[in-house]
Every structure is written in structure tokens, then in C-alpha cells.
């Protein structure tokens, strides 16, 4: 199983020195990847379903991961997730291609459709048809990354007669992962992605999601075994690091990557302690 670390762009890791220390420690510990989340803005005051208070600092995922790339050599760099319908797809394609080039091909492109209407409203982005626009935006990004003469024409976005160089190092394009816990999200992952990412799930909820993904794969004619499954386990209340027995229960379900998040790690030493615990308990042992 691949072991990874979540929250490389908020909490203690917004401090540059801490982020460098954590990224280097994660790489030295044998972690497969580090992952970022995204909210461009947060509702103030916090209102459901907003997951964070408005004063929580969050670095831009591409900026944070490019900074990590400059201080590491092997560890993979995951966006978990970028809210694609809030972005201009050609601008984002340029940013992520640049990250893939500068990291020598280490990007994992995790995508979500978003769920906070106040965030969409503040960005002057329509909240309706998020899924359809996400799929179009992804196709536009793939076009500019892969086509000899890039062009795309859809309902929500269109372009032609342009190029954007350099293209990503990874060919034909970086690995794509879709997040989300709905039937639509499962179908999107089955149709369009290398993998699926479930966030803050226990073993029971993960099992239910995998049942949904199996059904989605049957619906689109794809072998479920082709889909790489990544999960951030729901944080444990009594310990900062997932224990080996819990990790094995996820592995037994067919999870391929655990992206561990410990919200109790509120300073640099605590995050480094999480990395140490992952190396000691999980890396190479699950």
C-alpha cells in the first residue's frame, strides 16, 4: 500500500521552513506522496457545510507543491483536490504543466466539483451544472496538453488556434484522480480517471463507496481493478497516526493509497511526529 501525507498547504505547513522540513522528512521516510486541499475563499462567518473557520490560511495547491518540488527529488505531489469548475481550464493547465515540468513529472492531478455555494458566489462562478462544467474543463485541459493542434468546443468552454508550451513531462498527461462520495462522482472516476479519492472515511463508509465504484465501473464497462483507490481515513480521536491494524482493514477492502491527515498536529514538531509515526507503523508494513 502507498502511504501519503495530507495537508501540505495549510495548518503548520503554510510556514515555508516547516513545509520544507515536512516534505523532506516525508520523502526520507519513504512516503509515496504529499497532498494539498483547496478552498480559494471560505465563508465568513463559517456556515455549514464549510469545513474550516474563515481565518484558516490555505496556500494555493500549485504554488505549495511547486515549492515542495524545489526541495525534494522523488516524492509525488497530489492535489487533493482542486475545485476545477472554479478555474479557467487553460490557466490551470498552464500552472499544472509548469509544476509537472519543474518537478520532473511528479504531479497527481486530483479534481473535485466543489460544494460550498458561498465560495462559488464570491468567485462569480455559477453553482449549477458543476459536474458538466468540470468534465468539459478537464477535456479542454487534456486537449491543450496532448493534441498536436489543440482545440476544444463545448457548451461551457471553447478554444482553438493556440498552443501552450511546455507540456507536462508525464505522457500523455499526469495521473487524474476524481474525488467525491456521490454516484455521480463514482461514475466520473470510472469514466475519466486513473483513480478515485475519498476523504475522511472510516472503513464502513469506504466499503460503501467501493460498492458504488464497482457499480459505476460495471455501468461504463470498465474493470473495477483498473481503478486506483485512495482514501484519507477519518482522523482518529485518540492518536495522531493511523495504526497498522486500521490500515490493514483499509488494505483488505482494496484501498491502494492511504493519505493520512492529523488535524491535531498543530505545529511543526507535531507534523514531523506524524511523518515519523507513518514511517514506523505503516511504510513497507501494510
Domains in the chain: ranges and CATH: 2-281 (3.20.20.30)
Q: Place 283 in a pLDDT band, splitting at 50, 70 and 90.
A: very high
Residue 91, pLDDT above cutoff 70: yes
Residue 238 pLDDT > 80: no
**Strands, E assignment, the chain:** 2-6, 33-36, 76-79, 82-83, 107-112, 151-153, 158-160, 175-179, 195-201, 228-233, 257-260
Cell numbers linked to 126: 455559477
Task: Name the grid cell of 60.
Answer: 494555493
Res 96: pLDDT = 98
Whether residue 41 is predicted with pLDDT greater than 80 in this model: the reply is yes
Which residue has 472503513 as its cell numbers? Answer: 203
Instruction: Return mean pLDDT, the chain.
Output: 96
Q: Which of 166, 232, 168 is nearest to 205 (CA)?
A: 232
Report pLDDT digits (tens) over 7-29: 999 999 999 999 999 999 999 99
CB of 134 closer than 8 Å to CB of 89: no
- The per-residue pLDDT for 243 is 87
| pLDDT tens, position by position, 186-217 | 999 999 999 999 999 999 999 999 999 999 99
The percent of residues in the chain predicted with pLDDT above 90, rounded, is: 95
Considering the chain, what percentage of its residues have pLDDT values greater than 70? 99
Q: What is the pLDDT of residue 240?
A: 63
pTM above 0.85, yes or no: yes
Amino acid at each position: 500500500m502507498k502511504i501519503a501525507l495530507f495537508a501540505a498547504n495549510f495548518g503548520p505547513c503554510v510556514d515555508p521552513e516547516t513545509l520544507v522540513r515536512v516534505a523532506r522528512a516525508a520523502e526520507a521516510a519513504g512516503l509515496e506522496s504529499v497532498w494539498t486541499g483547496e478552498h480559494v475563499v471560505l465563508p465568513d462567518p463559517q456556515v455549514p457545510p464549510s469545513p474550516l473557520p474563515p481565518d484558516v490560511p490555505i496556500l494555493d495547491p500549485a504554488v505549495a507543491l511547486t515549492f515542495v518540488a524545489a526541495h525534494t527529488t522523488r516524492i509525488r505531489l497530489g492535489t487533493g483536490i482542486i475545485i476545477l469548475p472554479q478555474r479557467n481550464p487553460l490557466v490551470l493547465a498552464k500552472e499544472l504543466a509548469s509544476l509537472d515540468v519543474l518537478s520532473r513529472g511528479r504531479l497527481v492531478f486530483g479534481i473535485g466539483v466543489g460544494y460550498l455555494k458561498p465560495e462559488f458566489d464570491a468567485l462569480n462562478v455559477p453553482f449549477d451544472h458543476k459536474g458538466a462544467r468540470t468534465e468539459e474543463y478537464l477535456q479542454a485541459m487534456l486537449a491543450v496538453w496532448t493534441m498536436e493542434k489543440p482545440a476544444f468546443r463545448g457548451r461551457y468552454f471553447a478554444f482553438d488556434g493556440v498552443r501552450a508550451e511546455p507540456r507536462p513531462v508525464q505522457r500523455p498527461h499526469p495521473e487524474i484522480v476524481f474525488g467525491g462520495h456521490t454516484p455521480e462522482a463514482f461514475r466520473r472516476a470510472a469514466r475519466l480517471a486513473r483513480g478515485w479519492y475519498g476523504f475522511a472515511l472510516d472503513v464502513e463508509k469506504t466499503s460503501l463507496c467501493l460498492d458504488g465504484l464497482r457499480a459505476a465501473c460495471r455501468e461504463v464497462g470498465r474493470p473495477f481493478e483498473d481503478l486506483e483507490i485512495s482514501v484519507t481515513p477519518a482522523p482518529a480521536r485518540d492518536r495522531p497516526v493511523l495504526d497498522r491494524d486500521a490500515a490493514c482493514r483499509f488494505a483488505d477492502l482494496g484501498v491502494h493509497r492511504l493519505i493520512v491527515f492529523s488535524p491535531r498536529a498543530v505545529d511543526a514538531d507535531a507534523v514531523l511526529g506524524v511523518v515519523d509515526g507513518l514511517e514506523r507503523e505503516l511504510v513497507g508494513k501494510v
